[in-house]
């Protein structure tokens, strides 16, 4: 299994009770499969923004080159030869 880098784009519903607005998002995530990446995006958005899964609309999941990622941590991890856990 090879770890790949994916770019996920979509919309999430912010403040759904008072003034509902759909906010666009783009996340770069590393994972083995698209299904794993989708679960990770749901988890990240749910924990950071308190958004339920049914308030998240995924438009596109595409595999990208790690060097094209906007996230500096993902670029650094992709360029490392090995990762040593403490």
Strand partners, 25: 10
Give the tens place of pLDDT for each residue, 13-26. Answer: 998 778 899 999 99
Residues 69 and 12: their CA atoms lie apart, in Å, by: 21
Give the tens place of pLDDT for each residue, 42-58. Answer: 999 999 999 999 999 99
Q: Is the pLDDT of residue 35 over 80?
A: yes
In this prediction the pTM is 0.85
DSSP 22-73: EEEEEEEEEESSHHHHHHHHHHHHHHHH---GGGEEEEEEEEE-GGG-S-HH
Q: Domains along the chain?
A: 4-79 (3.10.20.10)
Residues 10 and 20: their CA atoms lie apart, in Å, by: 16
C-alpha distances in Å from residue 46, one per residue of 31, 52, 53, 80: 18, 6, 7, 29
Q: Which residue has the higher pLDDT, 86 or 29?
A: 29
Q: Is the pLDDT of residue 40 over 80?
A: yes
Joined together, the tokens standing for residue 24 give 């666009």
């Amino acid at each position: 299994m090879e770890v790949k880098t994916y770019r996920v784009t979509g919309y999430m519903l912010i403040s759904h009770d008072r003034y509902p607005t759909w906010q666009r998002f783009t996340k770069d995530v590393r994972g083995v499969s698209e299904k794993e990446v989708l679960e990770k995006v749901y988890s990240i958005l749910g924990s950071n923004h308190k958004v339920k899964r049914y308030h998240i609309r995924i438009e596109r999941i595409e595999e990208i080159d790690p060097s094209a990622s906007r996230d500096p941590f993902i670029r650094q991890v992709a360029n490392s030869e090995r990762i040593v856990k403490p």
